Amino acid sequence: MDDEINKFDEFEAITASKKGEKYVLRLFIAGINPRSKNAIENLRKLCEENLEDNYELEIIDIYQQPIFAKEGHIIAAPTLIKELPLPIRRFVGDLSDKKKLLLGLDLRSQKGDKSHVNKD
């Protein structure tokens, strides 16, 4: 039981320390199409609501800059890569699943979001 409590405390400390870190995000899109537009809109809204001015977002059109797709090992678009804070994470799709995105970006405990709590 003590091990579980220690692990939980350690997790909370890591999450709390990430609150002050600047997020570096790169969104790879394939042209301006409805799926790309949705991904951009969904990501911008999530960032404004949860990160305020604490993020850098770069949007890369792989049709215009294909070298970035090769360097980033992009096999599908849209793809979001969270480079900082570590660990690096990848998300593929239009980013419409807000709960999954908050969880993956480690933002679930910021802004009092309790959407990750199991209510069973």
CATH of the domain at 64: 3.40.30
Q: For residue 67, tell me if it sits in a domain.
A: yes
pLDDT tens sequence across 53-109: 999 999 999 999 999 988 889 999 999 999 999 999 999 999 999 999 999 999 874
Task: Quote the domain boundaries for residue 92.
Answer: 36-107
Domain count of the fold of the chain = 1
- Does the structure show a pLDDT above 70 at 10? no
Q: For residue 74, tell me if it sits in a domain.
A: yes
Q: For residue 115, tell me if it sits in a domain.
A: no
Residue 37 CB neighbours (<10 A)? 13
Using DSSP, state whether 48 is helix, strand or coil.
Answer: helix
Q: For residue 7, tell me if it sits in a domain.
A: no
In angstroms, the CA 111 to CA 114 distance is: 9
